[in-house]
Amino acid sequence: MKLHNVLRTLSLITLSSAAASAAPFLAIGDGAELFATGTVGVRADDNIFLASAKTSDTIFEITPGLDMTFGKDSQLKGDLSLMDQFNSYASHSSLNTNLFSGDFRSNYDDGKLKMGFSTGFHELNQNTVDNRGLTRRDVSNIAGNGETEISQITSIGGGVTFTHTRYKRAGYGNLDDTTVPLNFYYKMTPKLDVSGGYQYRDFQTTVGKNSTDNFFNVGARGELSPLLTGQFRVGYLNRKISSGSDFNMLGLDGSLSYELTPKTALQLTISNGPDTSPQGQQQKNFAIGGSVNFAIDDQWSANAGLNYRAIDYGTRTDDYTEGTIGGAYVVNAYVKIVGAFVTRHNSSVLSGSQFTNNVFSLSGNLRY
């Protein structure tokens, strides 16, 4: 598929949707709607394997899908989304893939009791700093959570999340990750809760050592100031490693949003905690990031972000940075055009672990 064909397809989608006048959904019951979704895109990637020696290519993407929502204006709401992503490489056709994803999410809220459930399956072939070389893997997850009032100013919440990752590449271990949080909330103000909590994590791998984490924390959520909202947790974290030495560290997890102007929001994230790489290496990760989102008008928006992650392997620390700048144009209720530039850099004392990467992308997103 050539670039001009992709751009022509984007234009046809835009023109046909702009002329549509029918309601953009199929009603299949009281409060239930079925949408057709899709993405047509192209990206230019100068390091498709995130390797020290670069290999570049242009990748074309077509992703048809379906999205069903239910429970509109009711206490029980949910969403089922299915999609199949077709990736075509201009110069390395042996890398062509089609990747299926499916997700189901639901939540219940009657004002005093809140419950949520989600499950999903994802076929992945994208690079990350931990998964380089277009590593094929299947990720399945299931999660449930709940929170109930004890009194008008107190509540208790808990949940469980299980994630299974199956790698289709030698040297990578299959992973089972189970997390169980428990939190007590006290309402300091009508819009701010403080919390005390405990989180247990069990991590099993077929490559490397298994581990369990115990995280005792305090935190807050809600409106920290008239312009600052979000949540954070901080506390003592202990990791126990099978047939290895335990270690302690500061546990930290936070996500905040600050309203710079009525149309401009600053997002801040920070975390500190242990992990295990797909190759079985123990890690201590400190990550901090920020992004700015601009709503220029009803149709145009822009964003920019910068993230940093220090990955401590015990014998060395790699420094990973990622910057993003992008924009979006809403053509109408059905179509959005999105463009982005992403740059990545990993610095390491191991020459084989260093890389730089630049990606330009353009896509048209359809929801009808």
Cβ 103 vs Cβ 120: under 8 Å: yes
State pLDDT tens for residues 226-272.
Answer: 999 999 999 999 999 998 789 999 999 999 999 999 999 999 999 99
Domain covering 3-367, topology? Porin (2.40.160)
Burial of 133 (0-12, 13-18, 19+ CB in 10 A): exposed
pLDDT of amino acid 243: 84
Cβ 39 vs Cβ 364: under 8 Å: yes
CA distance 237 to 199: 9
pLDDT of amino acid 73: 82
pLDDT of amino acid 13: 40
Phi, psi angle pair for 17, to nearest 5°: -75, -35
**Chain centroid to CA 331: how far?**
25
Cβ 178 vs Cβ 161: under 8 Å: yes
Percent of all residues in the chain with a pLDDT value above 90, rounded to a whole number: 88
pLDDT of amino acid 25: 56
Scanning the chain, the segments in alpha helix (DSSP H) are: 3-18
CA distance 75 to 106: 10
Out of 2-11, 85-94, 116-125, least confident range: 2-11
pLDDT of amino acid 8: 46
Cβ 86 vs Cβ 61: under 8 Å: yes
Percent of all residues in the chain with a pLDDT value above 70, rounded to a whole number: 93
Kindly state the tokens that stand for 295: 């709503």
Burial of 329 (0-12, 13-18, 19+ CB in 10 A): middle
Closest listed residue to residue 68, CA positions, set 30, 106, 35, 27: 35
State pLDDT tens for residues 115-159.
Answer: 999 999 999 999 999 999 999 999 999 999 999 999 999 999 999
State pLDDT tens for residues 303-332.
Answer: 999 999 999 999 999 999 999 999 999 999
- pLDDT, the chain, mean: 92
pLDDT of amino acid 148: 97
pTM of the full structure? 0.90
Tell me the domain boundaries of the chain: 3-367
Cβ 17 vs Cβ 335: under 8 Å: yes
CB atoms within 10 A of CB 175: 22
State pLDDT tens for residues 159-186.
Answer: 999 999 999 998 899 999 999 999 999 9
State pLDDT tens for residues 191-233.
Answer: 999 999 999 999 999 999 999 999 999 999 999 999 999 999 9
